[in-house]
Each structure stands twice: as structure tokens, then as C-alpha cells.
Structure 1
Amino acid sequence: MTATLLISKGKIRQATTLKEQKKDELDRNRRAHYFAQVGTWDWQINDDILYWSDEIYAIFGYQTGEITPSYQKFISAVHPDDVDSVQSAEQACMQGDKHYEIEYRIVWPDDSIHWLFESGDVLFDRDGKPERFTGIIREITRAKKTNDYYRELAHYDKLTGLPNRELFDQRIDEAITRAQHHNSMLALVFMDLNTFKPINDQYGHSTGDQVLQALGQRLKHSTRSIDTVARVGGDEFVAILEDVKSDEVLKIVENLRSLFLQPIAIDKQLFHLGISIGISLYPDDASDAEALIHVADMAMYQAKQSGENNIRFGHAVPTAKPTQAKAE
């Protein structure tokens, strides 16, 4: 009798210990999800019932239990520009084409924008129809901001905020590809300051930096949204003008020139800049980035040689014809 009682108590203690361990494990998982800002969801597709773990309420800007989760509530929180991509990814997963994994933005009730990473998978019934959609959501706003910061350091000029040489190289290739696809023209504009060195020599590099910063702001806010203006050297700038007509290139470039020639005020001192500009055209002058750059650079050098503030169009470099050997 005593032995049986001891065994029973031992089983009770063992069962209690297992329950405590399970509870501790669940508590650890909940804390881990909370601090990692990870939540789980389960969508019963046919009944349109959506379950959210407690963490998801906070991820979407709500107190736990403040709203009743539903697919409509979820999709209405997705940023309008991201709704199509989210629903396309969902449909692809429900059709069995691919795993569901996506980054997208949501809009909180206070109108702030937040980035999420979501992954999931679909459970199918015996007939192969989607039955349940389950997955996780993680808040990645801070990580996105960090990535954007380092991306900006890598691709943008620290002083002016304009694209740097590396980003320019990417964009000129992309622009040529678009021009080929749409059978359109683009202009590559090389611009070199003529009177910047005297400013540095007379007033110091700190003042020169302020002049360049002011110029960068002027260029960023006064050019077409489809165009790229980059700083590729100390006093060298380049512009990619996309989808232009041959008869409007000069007008756009003259507007660009005027941005350089307008005086810049630094500490009540007016600074005047000179500019020399060379232009090459795709596809008239060249069909690849390297040749376009060469033609525009040569045209800019000719403009500089002919006097300040001049604009010169380049010309295609003639290809040498192969010589034929004389018949003996």
C-alpha cells in the first residue's frame, strides 16, 4: 500500500514537474517573441477567422485585445502602395507556387509607418484546396532604417547628399536599359566648376564645403524627378536626363547651368561659380555607358577651353575601318 502510494506521488510529482517545465518553456518563448517583436498568426481561410498572438497587437499599434483580428482589418493596415505585392505573394503561396516571405509597410492608427517581415505557409485539405494559412510577423523598422543609413553612406556623397560615383555608375546602366526598352533618348551631361578652387584658397575649405552643400540642395530640389544629378569628383557633377527629345535637351541643360550660376550666400558673403558643360546623347553619340561618358567628358573639356559657362554637344567617336591588305 505504502509502495503504491509512493509510486503514485512520484508520478504526480513527475507530471507536475513536466507541466512546470512546459509552462516555463512557453513563458520563455513568449518573452523571446515579445522582446524580438515577433508574433504568430493563424488564418482559417474558409471561415475567415484570424488568430493573432499577443505580440501582433503591439506590432500593429494596438493594445492586446483592443480589436478583433480579421483579414480585412489586416489588409486595411497595409500601406496602400504595398497591398498588391502582399496579396500577390499570398495568392502565389495559396496556389502552391512558392513559400510566403515578404517585407512590407503598415500604417498604425496614429498614421506612423512601420516595416514588417512576414513569412508563412499554407495547409491544404484532402482536395488540395488551401485550408489554413499560418506564419510569423516581425517588426523590422529599426533594421530598415539602419540598412537605409548604411546604403546612403555607400551610395550618396556625404557633403552634398547627391548620388556619388558608384550610384551614378549603376544608374547610367539602368537608364540605358530603359532607353533601349522604350526606344527613347537620354542625355549625359558633364559639368565642371571653373571658379571653385579660388574660393577654397581664399576663404578656406570649410567655406568651400558650405558652398557645395548649398549647391547640392539647390540641385536636388530643382531638377526633374526622373533625372539623376550626381557629384563624381571634388568640383565635378554629372546629370542623366532620361526620356528627352533632341529639341528640349539644350533648354533643360541651360536650366541646369542657371542653378550653378545663381550666387550662393554664405555668412552674408555672395559666391559666384562658373561652369563648363559637355553633353552626349544616347543613342546618337554612343550605345554604352563608357563611350557616352567619354564623349560628354571631351565635350566638357572643349567647353572649358572656349571660355567660362559654355555648353558643348559631343560627337560620336568614329570607328576606324579595318584596312585591307594590298593584293600582291
Structure 2
Amino acid sequence: MSDRPLHQDLVLLQEEILWYKKALEFAGIGVYKWERQKDQWHWSDKVYEIRAFGKDPQYANPVDFYDRVHPDDRAMLLAAELDCKSGIAALNVEYRFLWPSGELRWHRELANMLYDGHGQPALMCGVVIDITQEKQRMAQLALIAQTDPLTGLANRAAFDRWLDDHIPQTPDPHHAVVLAFIDLNGFKAVNDRFGHAAGDQILRQVAAGLRAHCAKQWLVARLGGDEFAVLAPTPTATLEVQRERLQQTLVTVFTQMAQEASEWAVGAAIGLSCYPRDATAAQSLLSQADAAMYAAKRTGQRIAVCDSPR
């Protein structure tokens, strides 16, 4: 047995507890427990802070907390908590939470059950972490991964994903899509004569023109080099109207560019294909638009539009 006085052991224990509390505070981690026998919650100060609740010593069962969980996440959180309380599975969830200010935050919650001497679930111990900044960084990285750095348009990966999402495996009689595949005419000559900086400027001007004139619900993408694409979803009943609208929009964009760009003027070979009229699979629809674009290029016109051959 140690000869060290008991009060020294208590001092050391208090110091250790303080270190743990400080470490949790610095890490932004709140801790809580739920006592099964009393059906009672206990939150640390940090949990109150993370959840933006005023601390109330009498407020042992903060049921109002669930009212501030995003409605789409509430059932998932409650089910996960019930599984943890029943000893079925540890709790590991992420959910959205509404602060009184109206700001929507993201929280991660992890917990597990402790068992009594009879092997029955007795005490759930858990932690809460605000992961809003982490989610924002992930969203920014996801956006960067789907964005063409030169033009700010969607890149090829984003376009392929969007195309797959909008072309169902089973044809939908109520859903249609018009796809435009665009290749610039005269771009290589301008790039060779005036340099890559001029070429980059033209690509940015094309992107700006497409953004300004295309409908908000259309996806505009740079596929690579001087190739662009526009995807326009529409109800099947208005397919021809949407096809005509997209064609006129693109002709307007490149006509205006030709009028404003003088010696930097470029044109466009535009190929159109329609789902489900021309193809019922994503890559087939793209291939049809590509073939139509080459047909437009063979006309020799500065601005030419061709439909997918039928």
C-alpha cells in the first residue's frame, strides 16, 4: 500500500479530470449520458453550447431538442438512438440541427451502452460534435471536383453523372431530354495565331455566353478542349418546343460572339439529340449528338446545327 496521503491522490485525480475536460473542450466535443432506470439525460456544458440551448439545472430531459432536428433526419436519429438504448447497435449518426437563429448546423453523435451486473443495458454514454465546417469543406471539394477550373462550368465528370441521372434505365413516357454537343469552329486557328491566352479567353467567353442565355434548369458543361454540351430536361409533350428553344439559344450565343469578337470570332458546330426519340441510353444519346455535330461541321458553315439522324 502506498504511503502517499489520500488527499494527494484526490488532487491528482482532480487534475486528471480537469485535463480530460479541457481536452474535450479544446476538441469541441460535448459529452452526455442517458440513465435507463430514470429515463433521464445529462448534458455537459459543451452539449448545451453545441445545441444552442440555455443551460437549466432543472432541464434534465430536453425533449425540445428533437423539435430542432431537421424533419428529414429526425426519424433516422430516433431509430438509431432506440437501437443503441436497446443494445442492438452503437450510435453513429450525422444529422442537421436548427439553431434558434435559423442557422442550420451539422452534428455528429456517437454513443454506446454500458451494462449492469446482470448484463442489461443501463447507461448510454455519448459525444456530440459540431461538424458544420467539415461538411462545408467537403461540399467545396465536391464542387471543385465537378467544376472546370478555366470556365467555371460543370466538367466532364459532372456532365456524365447528370446525364446518367436524367436518362432512366426504363424509358419514362413523361420525361424527355434534349442534348446539344458543341464543337467550336475556327478555334484552333485563333489559338495558333494569337496564343493560348487568347484561346483561354475565348473559352471563357463561350462559357459566359452559355451561362447568360441558357435556362437555369439546363446543365451547361465543358467536356474538354473546345467541346461543350448542354442538357435540357423537359416533359415529353414539349420535347420539340424545348429542342427548338435550345437550338435558337445556342445560335444566338454564337451569333452575338461573332459580332463582338472581330478577329477572334469563332463559330460552332452543334449536334442535337433527344431522349427518348433518338436514343434510350445515356451514352447512345451522347453518341447521336456527337454524330450530329460532325454532320454540322461538314457543312462548312460558321454556325451550323444538325439533328441526330433518324
> Do they superpose with TM above 0.5?
yes
Partner Cα separation in structure 2 for residue 88 and residue 309 of structure 1: 59
| Superposition map of 1:162-311 within 5 A | 162-176=153-167, 178=168, 180=170, 182-183=172-173, 184-197=175-188, 200=191, 205-206=196-197, 208-213=199-204, 215-216=206-207, 219-220=210-211, 223=214, 226-245=217-236, 246-254=239-247, 256-257=249-250, 260-261=253-254, 263=256, 274-306=267-299, 307-311=301-305
Closer, same or farther in 2 for the Cα pair 1:192/1:282, shift >3 Å?
Answer: same
Give the Å deviation of 1:121.
4.1
Closer, same or farther in 2 for the Cα pair 1:138/1:226, shift >3 Å?
Answer: same
Identify the match of residue 313 of structure 1 among 303, 307, 310: 307
Correspondence 1:27 to 2:18: yes
Partner Cα separation in structure 1 for residue 198 and residue 209 of structure 2: 17
Give the secondary-structure state (helix, strand or coil) at the position aligned to 2:26.
helix
Correspondence 1:102 to 2:93: yes
Partner Cα separation in structure 2 for residue 88 and residue 252 of structure 1: 48
Partner Cα separation in structure 2 for residue 208 and residue 16 of structure 1: 78
Closer, same or farther in 2 for the Cα pair 1:71/1:242, shift >3 Å?
Answer: farther
| Conservation of the 8 A alpha-carbon contact between 1:37 and 1:138 | yes
| Conservation of the 8 A alpha-carbon contact between 1:262 and 1:272 | no
Give the Å deviation of 1:232.
0.6
Greater mean alpha carbon deviation, residues 63-72 or residues 46-55: 63-72
The alignment-based identity, stated in percent, is 30
Partner Cα separation in structure 2 for residue 220 and residue 84 of structure 1: 40
- Number of the residue aligned with 1:325: none
Give the secondary-structure state (helix, strand or coil) at the position aligned to 1:115.
strand
Give the secondary-structure state (helix, strand or coil) at the position aligned to 1:248.
helix
Partner Cα separation in structure 1 for residue 4 and residue 268 of structure 2: 89
In structure 2, give the amino acid aligned to 1:169: D
Partner Cα separation in structure 1 for residue 58 and residue 198 of structure 2: 56
Partner Cα separation in structure 2 for residue 58 and residue 84 of structure 1: 23
Output one character per residue of 1:97-137: Cα deviation in whole Å (capped at 9) or x when no partner. 65432222333344444322222346799xxx998654211
Give the Å deviation of 1:225.
5.5
In structure 1, give the amino acid aligned to 2:106: W
Correspondence 1:55 to 2:46: yes
- TM normalised by structure 1 equals 0.72
Give the Å deviation of 1:289.
3.1
Give the Å deviation of 1:50.
3.3
**What's the RMSD between the two structures over aligned residues?**
4.1
Give the Å deviation of 1:61.
4.3
Give the secondary-structure state (helix, strand or coil) at the position aligned to 2:21.
helix
User: How many residues are paired up?
Assistant: 303
Partner Cα separation in structure 1 for residue 246 and residue 71 of structure 2: 36
Give the Å deviation of 1:69.
6.8
In structure 1, give the amino acid aligned to 2:273: S
Closer, same or farther in 2 for the Cα pair 1:194/1:34, shift >3 Å?
Answer: same
Runs of at least 5 residues in structure 2 that lack an aligned partner in the other structure: none
Give the Å deviation of 1:302.
0.8
Partner Cα separation in structure 2 for residue 84 and residue 262 of structure 1: 54
| Conservation of the 8 A alpha-carbon contact between 2:111 and 2:125 | yes
Partner Cα separation in structure 1 for residue 21 and residue 155 of structure 2: 45
| Conservation of the 8 A alpha-carbon contact between 2:289 and 2:307 | yes
Closer, same or farther in 2 for the Cα pair 1:138/1:248, shift >3 Å?
Answer: same
Closer, same or farther in 2 for the Cα pair 1:103/1:190, shift >3 Å?
Answer: same
Give the Å deviation of 1:199.
5.5
- TM normalised by structure 2 equals 0.75
Closer, same or farther in 2 for the Cα pair 1:272/1:46, shift >3 Å?
Answer: farther
Give the secondary-structure state (helix, strand or coil) at the position aligned to 1:286.
coil
- Number of the residue aligned with 1:149: 140
Partner Cα separation in structure 2 for residue 119 and residue 262 of structure 1: 58
Output one character per residue of 1:140-165: Cα deviation in whole Å (capped at 9) or x when no partner. 22322332333233221112222211
Closer, same or farther in 2 for the Cα pair 1:109/1:263, shift >3 Å?
Answer: farther
Partner Cα separation in structure 2 for residue 88 and residue 181 of structure 1: 36
Correspondence 1:38 to 2:29: yes
Partner Cα separation in structure 1 for residue 140 and residue 257 of structure 2: 29
Runs of at least 5 residues in structure 1 that lack an aligned partner in the other structure: 1-6, 317-328
